Every structure is written in structure tokens, then in C-alpha cells.
Amino acid sequence: MSTLLSAAGGTLVAGGVVLMLRRRRALQRRQREDGTAIVMPTGRAAVTEQALRSRDSTTELLLLDTALRTLASHLAAQERALPPLVAIRLGAEGVLLHLSETANDSDGQLPLGAAAPFTAVKDRSGVWWCPADSTELLDSDELAEVAAPYPGLVPLGEDTGGGVLLIDLEEFGALHLTGSRRLQMLRTLGVSLALSPPGQVDVLVAGEDTAPGLSLLDAQRVQPHPDLETATAAAGAHHGDQQRLMAEVDLPDLFHARVSDDAEEFQPLVVLCDLDTCPAPQAVSRLDSILDAELLSSTAVITSDAQPARAAAGEVWEIDTDTPTLAVPNTTLHCVLSMCSDDEYADILTLAVTADSPTGVPATEPVPLAKLLPRSRTRHRRCSFTAAALGYRPGGAESAVRPRRTRRRSRRRRRRGRSRGGRV
């Protein structure tokens, strides 16, 4: 396991935090009063921000977003559904998709034909590749109306080759975290979802101790609930709304909805809950029923507990946070988990609060020009000339012209000496 600031898997989380700070500080600068500056972090939070910026992954995030939305655009044009996705390996060299075993073509046969900008990897069924320098990537104008096709993507860590590994929560449905660092992993996933660049995600946080303060990152996305029962009720309402909407627009499933004109209406919802501090067996059973519904909605559940995953839910992926290397189901990928330490989590929240402060601080006084100019070590005559070029004469008008009279006298003495045949 690696902390967020020391692992490649933390670059997407760092990128999300940096983008959030950039947006909030731009708003602060527009709203600040004359003569004031925006509030900046100090101490450990400032050090954490510098570390996050050093791991900024803006280039990789842009590549991922462009590649996936280009894929969605081509699939929609071909009237094809979005293929179910298990995981993505992202690196500077490109994007590698690992499709679900349930992905098939219109005749129900494998392998499913790839669509631009991806091509099928030879001898690897269900694996598609898009290089970073692909000429088939659409530009921002062409993608302006294309919604993010996989908004449930969340970074889990890094693979054994050093690439960033993301999983699709919509495919897994439920994750259950165990081990000594389960809460750190749960909160890291919460940060990733609250600031998710791949798409808008609503997050329901059940219990006061599950992810305290997470709503500070985005009060619209993150909704705290005092217990799992109320969060489950909200998830049930979300599930029912999406099922009704799919029926109204005559969509057979979520994969067709993702490439439809109504794609943005099917926003994912993820429930976070630490069952150690917020136990609710009946509510968990109701969430399992939502995930097992015949017509799937964009709903996922992430729980943590000292106990193993509930026996009744065979589809829950149990992740032991103490395992050095984790195998991703239905793929050949192996993952080293990346997660925030308690201090890093607190620092990220502090950065969010600081960047949201409505008050400014007195602006720093400008440094005088005289302190910025280097001092000359030459003789007084050259120094006077340099100062005069800047519009300043140190000794007044008489001092500034005195060297010229001295030079005239020196020339007269030399001429007299030559006419007399002597030396000056």
C-alpha cells in the first residue's frame, strides 16, 4: 500500500484536488476587494498542496476524458450500446480498456468489435487500446455535447507496471473494504468521487464517522446522512427515478442510456458507509436489493468493516487493504492500493476550506524599485551616468554636470602641454 502523495495511483486524486483549487481561487480573485489578496494555506496544508501539484495529472486526465467521449460519440453514431467496463489502465503512453466478460456484439458473440479511437489488442479478448498520440481523437468542439460515458470510474491505485488503475463502480456495484486501513481507503475513494473529473457523481455519506467533512469538497455532490437508513431511502428514490426515466425514453438498459441524448440524466449515485460505526443490517439488505434489480440503475455502494463481506451478497467485491497486491476480478490486472493518510485527508479538507474563504487578507506592499535595482560598484562618474539614465541625479544638477567641466579642463591642459613640448 502507498500513501496518496508517494504513489502513481494518487495522481488522478491529486489532479482532482488541483482542479478544484484552481476553480475556487479563480472565483476568490474575482470577488476580492481592492487592496486585498486571497487567503492561502500555511503550515502542513501548504506543504501538502505543493506535493499534490508535483503529482498533477492534467495531461492524463485530458487524454482519458477525450478518449472515452470520442468512443461514446462513435458508438452513438453507429447506434451501438456502450460496452460494460471493468477497469482502465492509464499512463502517459495511452489508455487500455478491460471490458467485462458480459460485453458482446449485437449477435451475442465475442469478441466485441472495437470502435475509434480504440483498437482491439491482438490475442487479448475484451482489451482495447488507444495510444496517446492517436489521430482519431476528436477535438473539444466536436465533443462539446457528448456526456462522460463512464462517470462511475474511480482510481484504485497503480498497477504493477506503474500505470494508474481505475475501476468502474457501475460494473462492480458493491465494494467492501476490510483490513487495518479500510477507513483511509474509503475516504480516499470518497475524495475521488467528490472531485471526479470523469463525470458528475452524487455521493451519500452515511454516518458521522464515515468520511467527516467530505461535503466541504463539494456541497452539491456530497450529501451527509446521519445513518444508513436515511441514505438508503435516498438511494431507493434515485433508483426508482432512473428506472422510470429509462421506461419513458424507451431505453433497454444503462449501457444504451450512456450513449443516448439523455445520458446526463443518468448520473451515478454512490453510498459510502463505515459499518463499524454505523451498523444497519436491514438497510444493507435493501441496498443489495437495489443492486440486484433486473433493470440496473446507476447506483453503487462502498462499505468498510472489520468483518468480511456479508454472506448474502455474492456479488460484493471484498478488498483487503492490507494485501500488498490485489487482483482485479475478470482481468489480468494487479493493483497496489493508493490511499490518503489521515493527515493527507485532513490537509485536503483544509485546502478546500481555505480556497472557499470569502474574506481576503491585506495585500503585500510592493517592493520599492530601488531595492530591485542592483547597486553599481563603479566610480562616481559612471554611477552618476547610470542614475541619470533612470531620471535621477544623486547630487543635484551641479553634481551631475561637474564631471563634464573637469573633462574640459583636462583636455585644455593636454593641449597646452603639447604646444609647450612638455608633459602634463
Residues 126-159 have pLDDT tens digits of 999 999 999 999 999 999 999 999 999 999 999 8
CA–CA separation, 216 and 231 (whole Å): 18
Q: What is the pLDDT of residue 193?
A: 96
Q: pLDDT for 54-105, tens place per residue?
A: 886 778 889 999 999 999 999 999 999 999 999 999 988 999 999 997 665 5
Question: Residue 164 — pLDDT band, cuts 50, 70, 90?
Answer: very high
**Rounded to whole angstroms, how far apart are CA atoms 327 and 336?**
9
Percent of the chain exceeding pLDDT 70 equals 79
pLDDT at 327: 95
Q: Give backbone dihedrals phi and psi of 271, rounded to 5 degrees, phi first.
A: -100, 125
Query: Which DSSP symbol is given to 312?
Result: T
DSSP 8-state assignment for residue 112: P
Model pLDDT, residue 173: 93
Q: Given this model, what pLDDT does residue 383 score?
A: 46
List pLDDT tens digits, range 165-175.
Answer: 999 999 999 99
> What was the pLDDT predicted at 103?
65
Task: Band the pLDDT of 387: cuts 50, 70, 90.
Answer: very low
| Grid cell for residue 36 | 486585498
Tell me the pLDDT band of 358, cut-offs 50, 70 and 90.
confident
Say if residue 233's pLDDT is above 90: yes
pLDDT at 34: 80
| Residue 393 pLDDT greater than 60, yes or no | no
CB atoms within 10 A of CB 389: 8
Residue 24 has pLDDT above 90, yes or no: yes
pTM: 0.82
Residue 400 has pLDDT above 90, yes or no: no
Residue 407: is its pLDDT beyond 60?
no
The β-bridge partners of 372 are none
Rounded-to-integer distance, Cα 63 and Cα 131, Å = 9
pLDDT more than 90, % of the chain: 62
Instruction: Tally DSSP H helices, then E strands, for the chain.
Output: 12, 17
Report the mean per-residue pLDDT for the chain: 85
Q: How much is the pLDDT for 381?
A: 47
Give me the mean pLDDT over the 367-374 stretch.
Answer: 61
Residue 42 clears pLDDT 70, i.e. is over it: yes
Higher pLDDT, 379 or 9: 9
CA 263 to chain CA mean position, Å: 22
The pLDDT assigned to 92 comes to 87
What's the confidence (pLDDT) of residue 101? 77
pLDDT value of residue 162: 84
Q: C-alpha grid cell for residue 89?
A: 489502465
Domain spans, the chain: 2-355, 371-420
What are the tens digits of pLDDT across the range 285-341?
Answer: 999 999 988 778 899 999 999 998 875 555 799 999 999 999 999 899 999 999 999
What pLDDT score does 390 carry? 47
* Domain 2-355 in CATH 2.130.10: no
DSSP-derived 3-state class of residue 256 = helix
pLDDT score of 37: 85
Cα(258)–Cα(167) distance, rounded to whole angstroms? 17
pLDDT of residue 398: 45
- What was the pLDDT predicted at 397? 47
pLDDT, residue 106, reads 47
Q: What is the pLDDT of residue 406?
A: 52
- For 239-269, write each residue's pLDDT tens digit: 999 999 999 999 999 999 999 999 999 999 9
Mean pLDDT for 111-121 is 91
Which residue bears the cell 484536488? Answer: 17
pLDDT at 401: 45
